[in-house]
């Protein structure tokens, strides 16, 4: 699988419901979308932004054009078809799916996941670090072959499958997928970091991320370093500890 073209596709739209235009909010002189793209750049993999054809998302396309980041524009509701379109347009053999509400995603964790996916040499493999959650929210990635993505695009009929891209794969609706979860390995005590939220979904998430970036230079820190700060600063954790993650279909 060494010659396969693997690219990161990140989904972006400004019409988010809980915190509208959240990725265009700024901290440290940059938008959260720019921080997200900066982190992904460190993987060394090509990055493609998959946004919508809505006029509201012209600002996303403009920002990406200024950075030289390729953009694919497709359906707002059918995000599965949007990902498939991005993969086709860029001749990807495999896709790393991430979401733009993860401004502090750790490039080394993503790159290690890609290395493992390649090493497994299995086009039917779906690999992720959140099948069983041990990482903080905001570090999520999924890796799968383009062939499996196109199969899902052709066969998935449930609204949630179309909107959330990968349920058809990680629920193994085809019966042909091999699932592999990569757990949090930074700790030796058996604990995990799944209780922490480093994602940008609500105003309280925004407060935490702003504090981490402004006061701790978080854009330079690894996941392990960020978790170490949260372990030592319960007042930071309390900023968004009460937030419940939206379920599939909500």
202 pLDDT more than 50: yes
185 pLDDT more than 80: no
Other C-beta atoms closer than 10 Å to the C-beta of 235 total 7
Rounded CA-CA distance 183/190 in Å is 11
Domain residue limits, the chain? 6-185
Q: What is the pLDDT of residues 95-114, one digit of tens each?
A: 999 999 999 999 999 999 99
Please report how many Cα atoms fall inside a 13 Å half-sphere around the Cα of residue 30, on the Cβ side.
15
> How confident is the model at residue 42, as a pLDDT?
97
Q: What is the pLDDT of residues 204-232, one digit of tens each?
A: 999 999 999 999 999 999 999 999 999 99
> How confident is the model at residue 1, as a pLDDT?
44
Q: Virtual CA dihedral for 118, 122, 125, 130, nearest 10 degrees? A: -30
Average pLDDT over residues 65-89: 97
Average pLDDT over residues 42-70: 97
> How confident is the model at residue 196, as a pLDDT?
96
CATH superfamily placement of domain 6-185: Spore Coat Polysaccharide Biosynthesis Protein SpsA; Chain A (3.90.550.10)
Facing residues of 11 across strands? 50, 99
User: What is the DSSP annotation of 73-104?
Assistant: EE-SS-HHHHHHHHHHHTT-SEEEEEETT-TT
By percentage, how much of the chain surpasses pLDDT 90?
88
Give me the phi and psi of 181, to 5 degrees please: -105, 135
Q: What is the pLDDT of residues 237-249, one digit of tens each?
A: 999 998 876 554 4
Q: What is the pLDDT of residues 9-19, one digit of tens each?
A: 999 999 877 78
Residue 122, burial from CB neighbour count under 10 angstroms (0-12, 13-18, 19+): middle
What's the chain's average pLDDT?
Answer: 93
**Which segment of 53-62, 101-110, 126-135, 238-247 scores lowest on mean pLDDT?**
238-247
């Amino acid at each position: 699988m060494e010659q396969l073209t693997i690219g990161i596709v990140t989904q972006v739209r400004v019409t988010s419901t809980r915190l509208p235009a959240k990725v265009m909010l700024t901290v440290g002189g940059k938008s959260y979308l720019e921080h997200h793209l900066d982190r992904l750049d460190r993987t060394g993999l090509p990055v493609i932004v998959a946004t919508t054809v809505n006029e509201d998302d012209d600002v996303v396309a403009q920002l990406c054009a200024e950075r030289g980041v390729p953009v694919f524009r497709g359906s707002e509701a059918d995000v599965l078809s949007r990902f498939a379109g991005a993969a086709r347009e860029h001749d990807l053999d495999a896709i790393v799916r991430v979401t733009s509400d993860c401004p502090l995603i750790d490039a080394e964790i993503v790159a290690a996941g890609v290395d493992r996916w390649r090493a497994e040499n299995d086009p039917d493999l779906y690999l992720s670090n959140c099948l069983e959650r041990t990482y903080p929210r905001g570090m999520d990635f999924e890796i799968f072959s383009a062939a499996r993505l196109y199969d899902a695009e052709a066969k998935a009929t449930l609204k949630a499958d179309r909107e959330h891209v990968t349920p058809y794969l990680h629920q193994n609706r085809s019966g042909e997928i091999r699932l592999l979860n990569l757990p949090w390995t930074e700790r030796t005590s058996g604990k995990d970091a799944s209780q922490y939220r480093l994602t940008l979904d609500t105003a309280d998430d925004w407060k935490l991320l702003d504090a981490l970036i402004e006061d701790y230079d978080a854009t330079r820190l690894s996941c392990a370093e960020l978790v170490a700060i949260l372990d030592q600063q319960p007042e930071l954790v309390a900023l968004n500890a009460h937030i419940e993650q939206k379920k599939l279909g909500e």
